[in-house]
Structures are given as C-alpha cells and as structure tokens.
Chain A
Amino acid sequence: MRWCLSLLLFCFLAVVNALSSSGNRLLVVLEDATEKESYSTFLGDLEARGYNPVVESPKSDKLSLFELGERAYDHVLLFPPRSKGFGPSLSPKNIIEFMNKDGNVLLALSGKSTTPSAISSLLLELDLHLSTDRSSMVVDHFNYDIHSAAETHDVLLLQRPGQLRPDTKSFFDGEGVLAFPSAAPHTLGDSNPLLAPILSAPVTAYSYNPKEDFGSVEDVVASGSQLALVSAMQARNSARFTLLGSVESLQDKWFSATVKAPGDGKESETANRDFAKQLTAWAFKETGVLKVGKIEHHLAQDSEAPSVELNPKIYRIKNETVFSIEVSEYKYDKYVPFEVPENDALQLEFTMLSPFHRLDLQPSGKTENSSIYSTKFTVPDQHGIFSFRVNYKRPFLTSIEEKHEVTVRHYAHDEYPRSWKISGGWVWIAGLWSVVAGFLAFVIMWLYSAPTSTASTTKKTQ
C-alpha cells in the first residue's frame, strides 16, 4: 500500500515539475554569501533545470530541514563549512532523519579547510571514512595540471568515470578531462554494499596533509584507487547521499578552464560543467530512478481468454503461473522503458523461507514509457505461503524490492484423478465389484433356493 502511495506522490510531483522525480525544492547551504558568486554558473544551471535553490547560511535561525515534521526541502546541497560545523539544524541526526524521509543530500568537501568532526561522524555512520586529521588533500605527481598547480601538484586531472562494474549502468561517462583542485579524499568501508565510488583517484595518487611540514607519508590510510574523490551512498529507501571531494571543481573557474597534464603536451578544456550536471542529476534523482508499474501474476493458459483471474491470492501446487512486472526508468524529465544492462538480469524469486525458483525475467513487451518483463513457471510441489519477490538492487539505480504474498494450497479432495483413471487400480476395482456381485448372487441364491421339504419336516417335529 505504501509503495502505491509513494508512487502516486512520485507521479504527481513528476507532473508538476517535469524535472527531478522527487521534487524541486533545493536547499543550498553556503556559509559565506560572497562565495555564491564563484558558483554562479553551477547554481544557474540548476535553476535552469527547474530547481528552486534557496541559499541559506548554516547559522541562519530560519534554517530547518523540517517543517511541521515533514521535509521542507527535497534536496540539500551542502558546501563545506568554515566553522566547526553546520550548526544545530544540520546536525548529523537531522541529516540522517532527512534521508530517512527520502531527502537527497549532496555534500561537497574541500581539501583546503579542515572538515568539522560533526561531518566526519556523519560520514562514519554511512561508512565513509575521512583521513584521521580530516584536512588531507590528494596529490598526484603524474596527473596534475601544470598550469595551475605546477608546484603543489594538487589539481588532479582525471578521465571521466566509466562503468563501475560490467553489470551496471554508467551515468557519468562522456568525453573530456575533469579537473579536481585540492580534493579531500575519503575511503569507502569494505562492508557496506550501499556504497559505490563514482570517481576514484588515479593509481598514482596519495593523500597528504599540506599543513604538516613534515612530508612523511608513513601511516598512509589508503592510496591510489582506494582513495575515492566522489562517492555515492544510496540508502535502502533510495534516498541518495553524494559526497564530492572537491567543491572547487564546481566553481565557474574550473567549469571552463584549460588544463594540461605533465605527460602529453595537449591542452584540453575541462568537462567539469558536464560532470557537475550528471552528478547533480543523479544525486537529486533525475537519473537512475526506477519505477515499478503494474505487477501481474495469473494462471497460464493457452488462449487469451479473459476468464482468468488476475493476481489471485491463492494458487494450487503444480499450477502453471505467469508473472510480469512493468519497470520504467526516469531520465532527466520523463520515464522511459527500463533496459536491463547487458550482463545483468532482472530476477524473480518464488520464495518460502528460501527461494524455490529464481528465474530471469525476460522482456516481453514495451509501452511508451515502460518495459514489461515476464516469466512463466510451475508452482513447486509444496504448499505454504509463498511470495513473488523481485529484489533488484544495483549501484546507482534505485532499488526495486517487491514482495507479493500468495498462498499455495494442496490438492482439493476432488482434484485427484478418479480411481478408474488409474490403470493400476483396476485390479482392486475388479476385486471390489466381484465381491459385491458375488455377495448379491449368494443372497439371491440363498433366498430362492430355500429347501421347502426341510421346512415342512421341522414343522412336523414341532
């Protein structure tokens, strides 16, 4: 029921905005109003895509993520704070609560300032780890911009990220080079499956604290591609948290800079603006949002007779069953049919305690903005309360977790074949009826062969 309601809400909002699938109220938390100028292109792009950015200072009294217990904003964009933290209204607890209510957060950090401990502890809750001193910077002596960071080597030049895994969709690919000035690195906990790195540092990069004169890199937390620069965390309710290591990369300056890597002599334009669009589009649920439409299951049948009951509550063991699910994907401003990545499959489980069937759902149809996947199978020979489950959770895609309970009953007493249809039973049936016939014959014989003579003799003796 709840998914139904949220779906309604989803559709409603989508109609209103024709933009993000989850609303356009955007809160931008920026401590220094003067800095707003340097991000004007970025904020302008957001506004052009239909968002209503409200820029607030974290110290403002009016600032609150909630209003009357409900979310006041759909998305929050947090610029790195100058002071010790974001203040009481943006405490880790509030942000977690905000995400529990389906709000999306994009947090940008900078290597130039020390990250407050409040933020560090929030990130720890999400299993994202900053370096111990919280003010490190990524340095790479092989992939830096020789124009701007000839000495410090802290403006990283990176290729656009491709596919994370062969079975995922890529939302951040494209041509061009990304420039990441003074990026604060973070590492991802190795236990949390909800995390996914969007952009990792090059293999030659390492983390280094420029404030400590000592150039020692003895206790390296991580290095190379273990250092993530941009990461995504998608909570189980599909609320998105995006961590961007370098807030400077969003500045106007770097949107249209010309950079040059030390190795090759070619100068190139940065693709930061394009990447920022992709990143915010993903973070604010413009891309990678899956929606489940109709779910249908019914008995399989030869002809398309309308008599068959849709989504019955009860099946019998060994029934032939058809299951279909309609999935669509939101792409910037509309829903389009969802295509499962090449090396992946949308699967259906028919489960009671453990799956009895796990089947790949095959595409069977397509509508204007959704595709239909279906499969056909035989209900196992085990009665009980089963459920159709579609559990599709992939990095960067909102999770599909559908569970539909059905009862699988036993054969009713009149659904077994009748005795005469079982050839092995003929012997017994013949035996039965011969006894009946024999008994009747005996009775008839007994009744009609009464010896009259003896009857008369007994009478005489009496």
Chain B
Amino acid sequence: MAETPVDALLQGSTGRNTRGLLRIIILLTIAAAAVSSRLFSVIRFESIIHEFDPWFNFRATKYLVQNGFYSFWDWFDDRTWHPLGRVTGGTLYPGLMVTSGVIYHILRFLTIPVDIRNICVLLAPAFSGLTAFAMYLLTCEMSISPSAGLLAAAFMGITPGYISRSVAGSYDNEAIAIFLLVFTFFLWVKAVKNGSIMWGALAALFYGYMVSAWGGYVFITNLIPLHVFVLLCMGRYSSRLYISYTTWYALGTLASMQIPFVGFLPIRNSDHMSALGVFGLIQLVAFADFVRGFIPGKQFQRLVTAMVVIIFGIAFIGLVALTLSGVIAPWSGRFYSLWDTGYAKIHIPIIASVSEHQPTAWPAFFFDLNFLIWLFPAGVYMCFRDLKDEHVFVIIYAVLASYFAGVMVRLMLTLTPIVCVAAALALSTIIDTYVLVSRGPGPQAKTNDGTSTEGLRSTRNPVVGITSYISKAIVTSSVVVYLLLFVAHCTWVTSNAYSSPSVVLASRMPDGSQFIIDDYREAYYWLRQNTPDNAKIMSWWDYGYQIGGMADRPTLVDNNTWNNTHIATVGKAMSSREEVSYPILRQHDVDYVLVVFGGLLGYSGDDINKFLWMVRIAEGIWPDEIKERDYFTARGEYRVDDEATPAMRNSLMYKMSYYNFNALFQQSQAVDRVRGSRLPAEGPQLSTLEEAFTSENWIIRIYKVKDLDNFGRDHGNAAAFERGHKRKRATKRRGPRVLRTE
C-alpha cells in the first residue's frame, strides 16, 4: 500500500487525535442538526410557547425569575383552581423552571440580556443537542464499534419520536427529562461496569435532577432495580453490582426526597417499592456471598434456600400488611391503566379523557421511528450475542419500553432512546462488516480446490457473499438510501406534524397559501385587555393553563387535574340547565365562561366534541343529576340537530356553542361543519349569560355571567321583559293563596 499524505493523519497517535477531532466535529454537527431541525416551529410561526402544559411551565418560570427561588418554593398560586388555589411550589417538578432560571441568571451575569421567553422556547432544542451527546456516551458503552455511538447520537438527534416533545417552544418537562434519562442510564451502566462509587454517586446525582424534572423518573426507579434483579437471577452478583446499586439507591433516594412534590413517596409508595426490595435483596445476596466463603457447599445451599424462603415470605407479608394499613400508598390509577387499558375509561374518566393517554396506534411506531423500528429487534438480538451486564440492561429496557409505548401514546418518548441504541448497534455492525474495502479474511475454500467434504456444496464456492464487492456495494448503498430516506422522513414529519404550536392554527387556502387562524390568542388578549384583573374565567380544563398564561386571569380548573371534584363541578355547570348552572357559577364567583366552538370553521377539537367527557366526569360525582344516557338519542346517537335530546339542548354548553349561530346564516338553515348536521331553525336562548366576545372564526366564545336581577326577578322573566313580552297576570295558583308574612 502506498503511503498517502492522508495515512499520516489516520495512523498512529496522530491518527487517534485526528479521529478524536473528527468525532468531536461530527458530534457538534449532530447537535447542530438536532437543534436546527427543531427550529421549524419558530421559522414557520414565531417564537412562542406551544400547547398547554408549557404555558404553565412558562408562567412558573416567570414567577421564579421575578420572585426568586424561595418564594417560588413556597408559591401559593391564587390564580388557578379558584377558589381553592394551588400550593404550586409543592406540587410541581421544579427542575425545568430552575434550569431555565439558572440559565437566565448566568446569561444576565455575562451581560447578555435575553428575554426569559426565548430561553424557555429554545431550551428544548438546546437540550436535544445534549441528549445526542449523552446518547453517544451510552451507546459507546454498549459496543466497541466506533460508529455505533455516532449513529445513535445522529438517530437520537433527529428521530421524530423525540422531536415531537422537544421542538422549539415545547417547553415541557420532557424537554430536559429525556437528556437526564439517557445520561443517568449512561452513568448507571458506567457504574456497573466499573463498580465505582463515583459513577454510582454521579448516577444518583443525575437521578435526583431527573426526579426534580419529570414524573417519569419512576421509570428509572424501576428499571435500574429490575436490571440488578435480573443480573442477580442470572447469577451475576459481583461486588461491582453491589457497590454501584447501594450507592445509587442510598444517594438517589435521599436526593429524590428533597423535592417537595416527591417527599416521602420513595418509602411510602408502591411504585417505589421494587427499588427498596432489590436494595434489601442485594444485601442478602452480599451476605450470602460473604457466608459462602466459610461454609461448605452442601450446607450453604440448604441455608440459602431456607433463608430466601423465609425472608421473601416475611417481606411479602410485611408489604401486604403495610399496604392494607395504608402506610404504603396503593398503586395509583395511572399505574393500573398501564396494565389494563380499559381500566381508566371505567374508573377514572379524567385520565382516559387525555388524548396522550390513549393506546398507541401501530402506524405511530413507523411514523415516529421510521426504519429504526425494524432495526430495533436486530439490535436487541445483537445484545443477546454479547450479553454483558450492560447488554442485559438494554434488553430489559427494550422489553419494558416497548410494552409501555404500546399502552400509552406518550410513552413512545421513553422507547425512543433504546430504539436508537439498538438500531445503532445493528446498523454499526452492518456498516463495519460491509463498508470495509478490504476483502477481509480470504476464503480458504479456494486453496482446497473443492476437495473439502464438509458443508453444503453451495457454500464452498460462494459467488455472492459478504466479501464480494457487489454485495458490499448493494448493502452499503441500500443502507445509504435508508439513511437518506430516514433523514427525509424526519425532516418532513418535524416540519409538518410536530411544529405546530397548537395555539395558532395553520390551514391552507384553496390557492395553497397559508392561512393563520389566531382565534385563541385573539380571545385571550381580549380577556387580558377588557376584563378586570381578577375576573374568574370558567372553561373546560384544557384551556386553563393557556388562560393563566396568555390572558393572565384566574381560572377554575386547569391542566393540572389534581382535583377531580372541582373539574366535575365545572362539568356539571356545563352540562346542566341554566337554572342549575347559575347557582354554581355564582358560588364560584365566575365572571366569564369560555367555550371553544368549531362549528363554523370545521375545527374538530372543540368543546361539543369533548362534551361527553364533561358529562362522564360530572356523572362520576353526581350520578343522580347527570346521566350520560340523556345526551344520546333513543337510537344511541350523539346529535346536535333537531333530534338532539332535551338534556343536550338545554345544557349550558350547547346553548353557549350555538347561541346566535343562526344569525350567521341569513336565509338558509345553520350548519355545523364539524358534526355535519343542520341545526334547529330556532337557536337557543340564554338568560343567565350574555355574549361578551366571539373571535373572528367563532372558535372562542366568551360569555359574561349576569349579576342577579336588580328587581329580584328570575333571569328568564327579566330577559322576557327585555324582549318586550308583557308579563301575564299572575297565574292562578292552585290551592289557597299563600299569605305574605313579614
């Protein structure tokens, strides 16, 4: 081989340095790609906080930045859950806000005046770059191939499964939590590999950060013990395992208990019991291991069996007793719904009503992961071939995460990292095998001249094999094509599916130009400008965070669905007759009621379509007053037209949605474009509410709650008088006249 100038750079110590530099450059490029592909939303729309939960996080961050950490910690929020308020400081995961706050203060310290909103908007893309790096580290632990880590980082950087939660503006807990998840796993694998207290402590530290950032930390809390448990069952106990696990558990649990929202859960909640149990188990195993040195094999065997049976029995009975006596909290509803997808729908409608808690549809896997999903099993298989401690971890993670991702749409997010790892392992093997130009170990069969008798004849003279240039070219080029397709797919999905802020809706005009529907912000700013500072707004809980964030007005319920009864109260007010609703509105000091109506534009995510959930949730609390059946016609149809049931037509939600809708259609009959039905010729009448605002496309309608009538009449009569109807002479009552007494 001729010496070329390039060889000097690629061989020896210079070569190592060059490769290191290249690796850094590649990683930086991956991070840049990860960040830039998430900026579609900013370019398409603007630098704005997306969706629902991010609005709360944004508001909390602003509070933190304005009032400092201590008052954030003790924050009692009197602008949500009116009139109950929310002990917000103690019921949120502060990691995200504190991270942004720290970044904000560092930038201020460096005299870079950046608006806190921009930090919040760009936090998720920034952390996705870090995630790619963490992914590189994690995958490098799994494989000796240099390409695996880089591939995994690249996959993680642009896979839509992760982008869906981390585009610019998607300022949610997951934005930093996925980085922490991957990085904690990396540290854990490192700790198990080295048996080092330092790596275990670092894992615990980042676990603590993860706990502060996302409720999904429970996944780590269960996955790591499971990993240890499986290793123990495989007979792979070692002091490395003991050191790393005990370090992680002790420090990690202490760290997690520092978060006010978590508090004593790690020792009282069933979700955390596996970690505690494995902690106990590993002590026993360590002890048994210690004892083995002193006792002959036969007796030891018996001793161990007896001990295991006794201790397991005691621990199990103790756990059951503590759970029954209430010291350990039973499994939460969300947990049950992980095992039985029908559970939530029957028992906890509020959980089932959230779209991201629905089971995943199969195409979603391909949509979010593209070709990674079919490389994934191959990668898991490769792990079985090595099956070191860290590969066991990958396998367990893969199995668990696949199941959970199938149960709940939003857990696709936890599946994505392991899919990237496994796919990168598989693909790097392919690349390492096929891309090398050298022919590899020469086929020995040729020298034997066909005299070899072992094996099939066809294998003796392989025409096509992994050594031939043709097969290499085909495989390599197809891999390249797949990779290019993957990039194209990711870019397309990101720009089209995941970059919409959902605060602003975009649609296409017939000529192809973009048409922005900005009704939400129009209405929220109307509230902000035209209502008193403490006007209470009632709406379905989906819009609570947005009203709090954009309109800055107190709300009755919001997306933090901690109080089912309060939500049911709102559901009842929405689904009852005006006469029933009005006292509820008065009691809760409601000034304005906000509904979302898509009938004019054909916007299907409106309140009439969510209405049945309101009815169901209200029925859960008041089964005697609200019945879901009443809102269906005799034939079991959910209708809004002439055949709508009386309960439906008299409900406040129906009236508020269709009030004055007829006036929009001069001659013809009013048509609801979402439900595709013609509405009754005469629209509903409202007497206790008056229309205050309707946005441009009628998506948001705001009603003002009338005060009690000045003259003590009921609102129906007062409204009739306003319309010019003369009151009939007092109707003749049956029975004797009721005398008035003073």
Interface residues of A (CB under 8 A from B): 92-93, 96, 99-100, 121, 124-127, 129, 132, 164-165, 187-190, 192-197, 222, 226, 233, 235-237, 239, 314, 352-353, 383-386, 405, 407-410, 412-413
Contact = CB atoms under 8 A, between A and B. Distances in A.
- In the A-B complex, the 3 residue pairs with the closest CB atoms: A409-B76, A412-B74, A407-B78
Contacts of B727: 121, 124-125
A189 B729 CA distance: 12
B76 A96 contact: no
16 contacts: A93-B722, A96-B711, A99-B710, A99-B711, A121-B727, A165-B742, A189-B730, A190-B740, A353-B83, A353-B587, A385-B82, A385-B84, A386-B83, A408-B85, A409-B74, A412-B73
Contacts of A413: 73-74, 260
Given A124-B730, A194-B712, A353-B588, 5 more contacts: A99-B711, A189-B730, A193-B712, A385-B78, A410-B90
A125 B85 contact: no
A409 B78 CA distance: 9
Contacts of A383: 76, 84-85, 87
B83 A352 contact: yes
B739 interface: yes
Task: Please classify the interface of chain B as helix (H, G, I), strand (E, B), loop, or mixed, using the class held by over half of its residues.
Answer: loop
B708 interface: yes
Contacts of B730: 124, 129, 189
Contacts of B717: 125
B721 interface: yes
A188 B73 contact: no
Interface in B722-739: 722, 724, 726-727, 729-730, 737-739
Contacts of B82: 385
A235 B260 contact: no
B611 to A, nearest CB: 25
Contact of A96 (B712, B721, B742): B721
Contacts of B740: 187-190, 226
A185 B62 CA distance: 66
A410 B721 contact: no
Given A383-B87, A385-B85, A413-B260, A190 B710 contact: no
A164 B74 CA distance: 53
Contacts of B73: 412-413
Contact of B83 (A93, A195, A314, A384): A384
Contacts of A385: 78, 82-85, 554
A190 B711 contact: no
B385 interface: no
A164 B87 contact: no
B350 to A, nearest CB: 21
Given A125-B721, A413-B260, A233 B711 contact: yes
From DSSP, what is the main secondary structure of chain A's interface residues?
Answer: mixed
B283 interface: no
A325 B635 CA distance: 61
B738 A194 contact: no
A100 B83 contact: no
B677 interface: no
A184 B588 CA distance: 44
B713 to A, nearest CB: 7
Contacts of A409: 74, 76, 78, 85
Contacts of A93: 721-722, 724
B263 to A, nearest CB: 11
Contact of A125 (B76, B90, B713): B713
B534 interface: yes
A104 B557 CA distance: 42
A384 B710 CA distance: 30
A222 B76 contact: no
A239 B85 CA distance: 36
A452 to B, nearest CB: 25
B335 to A, nearest CB: 28
Contacts of B534: 405
B111 to A, nearest CB: 33
Contacts of A100: 710
Contacts of A412: 73-74
Contacts of A124: 727, 729-730
Contacts of A125: 711, 713, 717, 721, 727
Interface residues of B, number: 35
Nearest to B536: A385
A59 to B, nearest CB: 22
A121 B74 CA distance: 59
A236 B84 contact: no
B76, B554, B588 interface centre (most CB from chain A within 10 Å): B76
B116 to A, nearest CB: 24
A384 B711 CA distance: 33
A92 B726 CA distance: 10
Contacts of A386: 83
Interface string B478-519: 000000000000000000000000000000000000000000
B76 A235 contact: no
A410 B87 contact: yes
Contacts of A129: 730
A190 B738 contact: yes
A92 B711 CA distance: 13
A192 B729 CA distance: 16
Most A CB atoms within 10 A — which of B534, B710, B737, B739? B710
A393 B169 CA distance: 53
Interface in B77-123: 78, 82-85, 87, 90
Contacts of A197: 742
A99 to B, nearest CB: 7
A127 B710 contact: no
Nearest to B73: A413
A408 B727 CA distance: 46
A408 B82 CA distance: 12
Interface string B574-612: 000000000000011000000000000000000000000
Contacts of B722: 93
Contacts of A193: 712
Nearest to B726: A121
Contacts of A127: 711-713
User: Which of B534, B730, B740 neighbours the largest number of chain A CB atoms within 10 Å of its CB?
Assistant: B740
Nearest to A130: B729
Contacts of A190: 738-740
A193 B709 CA distance: 12
Given A129-B730, A190-B739, A407 B76 contact: yes
A14 B597 CA distance: 50
A384 B84 contact: yes
B541 to A, nearest CB: 18
Contact of B710 (A187, A237, A352): A237
Contacts of A405: 534
A189 B740 CA distance: 7
Nearest to A117: B726
Nearest to B587: A353
B536 to A, nearest CB: 9
Nearest to A164: B742
Contact of A126 (B587, B707, B711, B724): B711
A191 to B, nearest CB: 8
A433 to B, nearest CB: 17
Contacts of A194: 711-712
A233 B712 CA distance: 10
B379 to A, nearest CB: 44
Contacts of A126: 711
Interface string B180-216: 0000000000000000000000000000000000000
A127 B707 CA distance: 19
A236 B709 CA distance: 8
A407 B80 CA distance: 12
Nearest to B588: A353
Contacts of A237: 710
Contacts of A189: 730, 740
A125 B82 CA distance: 35
A92 B554 CA distance: 39
A206 B662 CA distance: 53
